[in-house]
Amino acid sequence: MAEVGTAEKRPFTAPLSEGYLVVDRKKCSGCISCMLACSLVHEGKTDLSLSRIQIVQNPWGCFPEDIALAICRQCVNPKCVEACPTEALHVDAANGNTRTVDGSLCDGCQVCIDACPYKPSRMIWHHEKGVAVKCDLCGRAPHWIEKGGPKGKQACVEICPMRAIKLVKEAPEQEGDAGYEVNLRNEHWGWLGFPTD
Amino acid sequence: MGYGYAGKILRLNLSNRSVSTIDTAQYEEWVGGHGLGSAIFWDLCQDKTVSGFDPRNVITIMAGPMAGTLAPGSTRCEMQGIGPQGYPIEWFTRSSFGGRFAPQLKYAGWDGVVIEGKADAPVWINVINDHVTIEDARGLWGLGTRKTQEEIWARVTGNRLNDWQAVGDAYTTQKPAVLCIGQAGEHLSRIATVMHDGGFAAGQGGFGGAWGAKNLKAISVRGTGGIKVADSKALIDTWLWHKTNFQFNVDNPRNEAPIVNFTDYWIINQSPGAVPIAPIWEPCRPKGCQGCPVACSRRMASGLANEAHCFTTNWPYLGIIPPGTQPTWMTPGEWAGGLAEPTDIHGLAKARYRTTDLLNDYGINVYDVFFADVYFYILFLMDAIGPGKAINCDLPFDKWGTEEYKAAYLKMIAYREGVGDDLAEGLERAAERWGRRKDDLESGLLPYPHWGYSEHNDPRAGVDQEYATILGDRDSNDHSFDLPTHGIPRVASISKTEPVISAERLVGILSQKVLPLQGDPLMFDYSDAGLYSASRAKTIAWGRRYARFWKDSVGYCDLLWPNFFNANAPDFSGYTPEGEARFFNAVTGKNISFVDGMEIGRRTWNLDRAVWVLQGRHRDMEVFAPYVYQVPSTRINHFPVYENGQWRYANVAGRALDKDRFEEWKAKYYELEGWDKITGWPTRSTLEPLGLGKVADELQRRGKLGG
């Protein structure tokens, strides 16, 4: 119980997202087609700085640590939404409760970028528009013919040639990375000689 | 400039350290990559007869319009200029590499880089978007290619890797893409590469030495811009068309290898991670160039030989079983069996991969050191090399094939120590120094059929690569035809299975797809008669046009394009000729056909030909080394042949080329191209309709216009 005279800070809560991207770090081939596709469907151009998914690599790194896949986790308790002073970052009920930026409300303060607890931050700075942008599970991707969002398709999932990105409906374990970094490999991957464990 | 382009080309004169810009639109008719490079070289290299080491040599590094967008296998970057490796003339030549350099270059706002002159001290070029600086490279000189790249990353990013980094108003998580030379290039080796990331190399041509001669250590590019595409919806749709119908489905493949971990089978089904060729011996992932669905290379748990492939990962497996017998390829398991003491297979694999990394770190062209390695061993057996021998060399031949031997061998080449000084000239020039060249080209001990470059395939078997090379500038390294025609029966032979497709059906697919020369199955007849036919002239012409445009100019990768046969498609019919233009038009918004592209390729091939003519090319020079005509091939090579009214795969071993018939064939080829049959020079009536009237004028001024 809070002491008398002090404000109790209640945990920030938001309706659960209806979809989450999970990835297989050991299956990714580092081709970054997902980044190209993401920026393409959202921006009409391929632009790695504006991709909502970021793949960071070291050519001489040791498998599997040579690649990190930075996807927005659509957090159960989204720090970005909590931190936004203008309510630009909001839970988009019309798009399956994805955590989304309303660009018209964003004043470019970048607080959300710092608030994201993951590195690299899953909040993306759109340097041309002066606003923050983020993964909306392609719910509002103007340069794509498909319906996106948790009930639709996501460009990164569709494009990935290794089928290393997947949409799930249940919220993954929030603690650590294990809920979001999953094993999507089957016996055919093993037949090629690659590890399946 | 339109969709798919950055719009400008970076022009650097290292002599006076000036930086200027060329508007890409000036050269739009050449589309990109090789076409841009050839046209700019034609305009800017005033004396095309100089050495590749001469400050007047002009080196171009050009991206294509697809690089950095979303088209499968389309990020090849094309380097051109006078290549020191060529022999007896250092031909104007090309070399391309994958990875992510071309995309980063375009994201920085540049379609290419032109390098002129020579710096008075070592320099590296730092490109961060529009900001270009010529930096002091004295602290980098002497470093291998890995350390060079890591040092530049640290300098450019302030060691802030793996997180967002501010670049002006924008941010990026991506490392700068660096292209650089190692010690071999610094020592002006004619077999030095230019390296990028772990294993992407501009190998053939000797451009590493050409960079070294310009005192150019590295070019680093970092961009935070984007590439606008004309129709993103169509581009995504085309990718999904390609993925659904033609890509290997890693979760549920339509066509799977008959044996586990059988990497050679990628030739059939384009499965990922296979082009290191050697089986997978430790946990790893497939690794793709930017935007590539095939992902032909690997990254390993040990971090060794990351991103390296093909010959660079295979050559280190060359050894002897048991010691004293002929050289042979060896798996780590065979190695263990061939050694006296029980040995850790994985440890041996790692030893080989360390050799791969050493090779790439020095920046040495594996093709030449592979053939020189075998050549040395045979000379050793002949008692012709060793301390105090005809070729005085203190390499430990009793340890030939081991990591220790290969390390000593590579070091002497990289630093030009002892006979390494000869080998750094390329093996054919080295053999000339040792007084062996003539005899060994007669016997075939020196398997260098053309222009100072080794065999790629056996020139007496499949012939397409070697014909293309003798009519061109360097090892053509073009697998358009041999992947299906030779690869399919070869894989069947290795796995002791039936070919996945009959010779007749394969040839039927091929001959339907080679627009605009379709409808002639005899283009793919590798019988004796087929080597000298008018149909073969069409095969070579088609290959050159396709390579010059769709591969070298647009930037499509040789492993994915063209795609005639495709085991992931239900009818085995690949995505050529539909895919090429579909992706191209979606990105650029142009509306060209496949055949339009082939015509631009013909135009570019003619411009290149004109440069070679100015350098001294004449049909009399387009002759293979004597052994190709005199010594029958002994290697097993299966290809489709048409005999007695039937198609079948046949072993074509046992034949040599017929010199007279090859000379007659050349006349057929020149006629097809519209070149003078006596000289091999392009004619005005061929050049002018291609819009190359000024090229015809220049040839005429030099007395070298075909009649």
B301 neighbourhood in chain A, CB within 8 Å: 62-64
Query: Model confidence at A10, in pLDDT bands (50, 70, 90)?
Result: low
Residue B48 identity (one-letter amino acid): K
Burial of B685 (0-12, 13-18, 19+ CB in 10 A): exposed
pLDDT digits (tens, 9 = 90+) for B620-677: 999 999 999 999 998 889 999 999 999 999 999 999 999 999 999 999 999 999 999 9
Query: Model confidence at A12, in pLDDT bands (50, 70, 90)?
Result: confident
What would the DSSP string read from start to end of A65-118? TTEEEE-----SS-HHHHH-SSS-EEEEGGGTTEEEE-TTT-----HHHHH--S
Q: Which of A45, A144, A189 sits opposite B228 (nearest CB)?
A: A45
Q: Give the pLDDT score at B314.
A: 83
The residue-averaged pLDDT of B297-326 equals 81
Q: Give the pLDDT score at B347.
A: 73
Residue B573 three-state SS:
strand
Are A161 and B294 within 8 A, CB to CB? yes
- Residue B161 Cα, gap to closest chain A Cα (Å): 9
Write down the mean pLDDT value for chain A: 95
Q: Give the pLDDT score at B320.
A: 56
First vs last C-alpha separation in chain B: 38
* Rounded Cα–Cα distance for residues A143 and A159 (Å): 15
Residue B272: CB partners within 8 Å, gap ≥ 6? A29, A161, A162, A192, B248, B250, B266, B286, B288, B294, B295, B296
Q: Which of A50, A64, A191 sits opposite B285 (nearest CB)?
A: A64
Are A49 and B170 within 8 A, CB to CB? yes
* Rounded Cα–Cα distance for residues B67 and B660 (Å): 44
Query: Model confidence at A7, in pLDDT bands (50, 70, 90)?
Result: low
pLDDT digits (tens, 9 = 90+) for B240-278: 999 999 999 999 999 999 989 988 899 999 999 998 877
- Residue B225 Cα, gap to closest chain A Cα (Å): 6
- Residue B4 Cα, gap to closest chain A Cα (Å): 9
Are A54 and B272 within 8 A, CB to CB? no
The residue-averaged pLDDT of B531-554 equals 98
User: Which residue in B has a C-alpha nearest to residue A141's C-alpha?
Assistant: B233
User: Which residue in B has a C-alpha nearest to residue A162's C-alpha?
Assistant: B250
- Judged by average pLDDT, the poorest of B88-92, B134-138, B329-333, B546-550 is B329-333
B235 neighbourhood in chain A, CB within 8 Å: 40
Which residue bears the tokens 């062209």? B365
Does residue A137 contact residue A149 with C-beta atoms inside 8 Å?
yes
User: Which residue in B has a C-alpha nearest to residue A160's C-alpha?
Assistant: B293
A117 neighbourhood in chain B, CB within 8 Å: none
What dotted CATH number matches A20-184? 3.30.70.20
Under 8 Å CB pairs connecting chains A and B tally to: 207
- Residue A91 Cα, gap to closest chain B Cα (Å): 25
- Please give the DSSP secondary-structure letter assigned to residue B188: T
- Residue B78 Cα, gap to closest chain A Cα (Å): 20
Does residue B81 contact residue A22 with C-beta atoms inside 8 Å?
no
pLDDT digits (tens, 9 = 90+) for A51-104: 999 999 999 999 999 999 999 999 999 999 999 999 999 999 999 999 999 999
Of B107, B122, B115, the C-alpha closest to B172 is: B107
B252 neighbourhood in chain A, CB within 8 Å: 188
B229 neighbourhood in chain A, CB within 8 Å: 40, 44-46
Burial of A9 (0-12, 13-18, 19+ CB in 10 A): exposed
Query: Model confidence at B340, in pLDDT bands (50, 70, 90)?
Result: very low
CB count, 10 Å around CB of B494? Answer: 12
Does residue B352 contact residue B403 with C-beta atoms inside 8 Å?
yes
Q: Give the pLDDT score at A9.
A: 61
Are B233 and A67 within 8 A, CB to CB? no
User: Which residue in A has a C-alpha nearest to residue B241's C-alpha?
Assistant: A159
